[in-house]
Amino acid sequence: MSRRLFGSVRSRATLAATLVVAVALVAAGTAVLLSLRSNLTGQAAADAAGTARNIAVELSDGRPYDQLSALDDDDRPVQIVDEQGTLVAASEDLESISGTGVDAVRPRPSTGGTVREDADDSDDDGAPGKAAEAGEIGTDTDYSNGSATLDGKTADYRFAAVEVEFEDRGTLTVYAGAPLSAEQSAVGTASTVLLIGFPLLLGVVAGVTWLVTRRALRPVEGIRTEMAAITASEDLARRVPVPDTHDEVARLALTTNETLAALQASVERQRRFVADASHELRSPIASLRTQLEVGAAHPELLDLDGAVEDTVRLQDLAADLLLLARLDAGEGPGASSPGTAPGPPARFDLGALACEKAEGRTGVTVDAGVVEVAGSRAQVGRVLTNLLDNAARHARSAVTLTVDRQGEWAVVAVGDDGDGVAEADRERIFERFVRLDEARSRDDGGAGLGLAIAREIAVRHGGTLTVGRAPAGGALFELRLPRAH
């Protein structure tokens, strides 16, 4: 079931779109949370640094510990530590602390509890004590995270550490914390919103993608349904619907209709070919049967010459039909026999082959140079034979055959001094079983396959075969084949 579900384009598109959006949302959500946490942590760090520096300023001014304003703040833990790591002052309500490196929350008894009394001491002449000595505040601020319990409430804090250097007391380090509750609350709220919103958004994306894909693929389903109906009915005249979207689906429908049209034309051409072949075969077979039946009944009336002529005509027609079938099956110029794979094309002299095919023909003038081509010598020879036979049937007295090279082409021209071919018929004569009015006689005009075979062979060899007007007024057939290199 799952294989069938995810085997559809719609399901795969929906799944892919949902996964892409999910990855993008997770990345964006993570970036938002990290940025939010960084900003709020930075604000807490700034607040902690401000508090620590305010205390440092008060200490540097000589204010005694019990008069530091920040020690009475029940929301901000404060510690003051000497060089030996001894706590010398702390917030009054501080019950526990971590993250500053000093876990003590009460100064040692020698310091006078939470407040040192050094500031109240004076020497015998009434001079102020050492607490009134000015100190120098350090420029660097160190940060750390930890937790503290103030007045029974435990929370996380961002601590800032600022140093104050005195000549007599050494260096004091002021630790002040700012609560991270705002950062934790904001990050928690944002996480909750993202966890609730992401599934809803993914559901919307999946639903919209499913609907859009279904609508986009609806024409494809129409094309598939129509193709299935065409296959079942074998009616190649039907066409698939073309949507008005002007997109890839519309182009697919147009291409499918073009393919159906080409297939229909091919099938119709094959049907006409079979019908014409049957018609062409029927006449000599009927004539031969009649002669044999007459000969069987009256041996003295048997026309052996006519029987032989009809047999030869049948043999030539069968050979032509077999060659056309092999060409239609895609037989290349290098195939040595029917059904074999084509080998490398052979090189041969086209001029010598033309002289060979023209030898013994009356009224044929040959002017052939040496031009090498590659392909099937037998098939190209068949083209030359067909062209010479056609010219001989229509010429009054003379046929010319020339072989020359023109750039990368080997050109064979066969002309006659007959009536020529009308311009409207110059493409039609290359169709199968087509005979012009003056060649309607089967005795003179053949079956109408010679020129069709000649063009098919020319195309298979990468060349062309066209007809024009000869200088003598008749037809001029021009065969062009690529020269061999």
Residue range 269-323, pLDDT digits in tens: 788 777 777 777 777 788 788 888 887 887 877 777 777 877 887 887 788 888 8
Local structure of 365: helix, strand or coil: strand
Q: Is the pLDDT of residue 94 over 80?
A: yes
For residues 382 and 375, the answer to whether their CB atoms sit within 8 Å is no
Mean per-residue pLDDT, 252-259: 91
Q: How far apart are CA 32 and CA 34, in angstroms?
A: 6
Whole-number Cα distances in Å, 443 to 41, 113, 313, 317, 439: 106, 137, 9, 13, 9
Tokens 């100190």 map to which residue?
Answer: 135
Residue 409 is given by DSSP the state E
Q: How far apart are CA 65 and CA 370, in angstroms?
A: 118
Q: What is the pLDDT of residue 144?
A: 92
Q: How far apart are CA 58 and CA 287, in angstroms?
A: 134
Q: How far apart are CA 236 and CA 175, in angstroms?
A: 90
Query: pLDDT higher for 50 or 118?
Result: 50
For residues 483 and 408, the answer to whether their CB atoms sit within 8 Å is yes
Q: Which two tokens stand for residue 415?
A: 């002309």
Q: What is the pLDDT of residue 275?
A: 78
Does 346-482 match 248-328 at the fold level?
no
For residues 351 and 368, the answer to whether their CB atoms sit within 8 Å is yes
Whole-number Cα distances in Å, 138 to 75, 80, 236, 267: 25, 14, 93, 97
Task: Count other Cβ atoms within 10 Å, centred on residue 229.
Answer: 12
- The residues pairing with 168 across neighbouring beta strands, listed in sequence order, are none
Mean per-residue pLDDT, 451-477: 92
> What is the average pLDDT score of the chain?
83
Q: What is the pLDDT of residue 160?
A: 93
Whole-number Cα distances in Å, 339 to 184, 187, 331, 344, 455: 81, 77, 8, 16, 21
CATH class of the 12-120+129-186 domain in this structure: alpha beta
Query: pLDDT higher for 113 or 157?
Result: 157
Task: Count other Cβ atoms within 10 Å, centred on residue 73.
Answer: 16
Q: What is the pLDDT of residue 443?
A: 47
CATH class of the 346-482 domain in this structure: alpha beta
For residues 377 and 353, the answer to whether their CB atoms sit within 8 Å is yes
Q: Is the pLDDT of residue 265 over 70?
A: yes
Percentage of residues in the chain with pLDDT exceeding 90? 32
Whole-number Cα distances in Å, 268 to 170, 229, 273, 369: 110, 20, 8, 43
CA neighbours closer than 13 Å in the CB half-sphere of residue 132: 9
Q: How far apart are CA 160 and CA 52, in angstroms?
A: 6
Amino acid at 318: A
Q: How far apart are CA 400 and CA 472, in angstroms?
A: 10
Q: How far apart are CA 388 and CA 400, in angstroms?
A: 9
For residues 158 and 189, the answer to whether their CB atoms sit within 8 Å is no
Q: What is the pTM of this model?
A: 0.51
Long-range contacts from 238-243, C-beta under 8 angstroms, 24+ separation = 243/219
Query: pLDDT higher for 383 or 93?
Result: 383
pLDDT tens digit sequence for 413-448:
999 999 989 988 889 899 887 777 544 444 455 677
Q: How far apart are CA 342 and CA 340, in angstroms?
A: 6
Q: Is the pLDDT of residue 116 over 50?
A: no
Q: How far apart are CA 55 and CA 176, in angstroms?
A: 9
Q: Is the pLDDT of residue 129 over 60?
A: no
- The residues pairing with 157 across neighbouring beta strands, listed in sequence order, are 146, 179
Q: Is the pLDDT of residue 3 over 60?
A: no
- The full set of domain ranges for the chain reads 12-120+129-186, 248-328, 346-482
pLDDT tens digit sequence for 333-350:
755 444 555 556 789 999
The CATH-assigned architecture of domain 248-328 is Orthogonal Bundle (1.10)
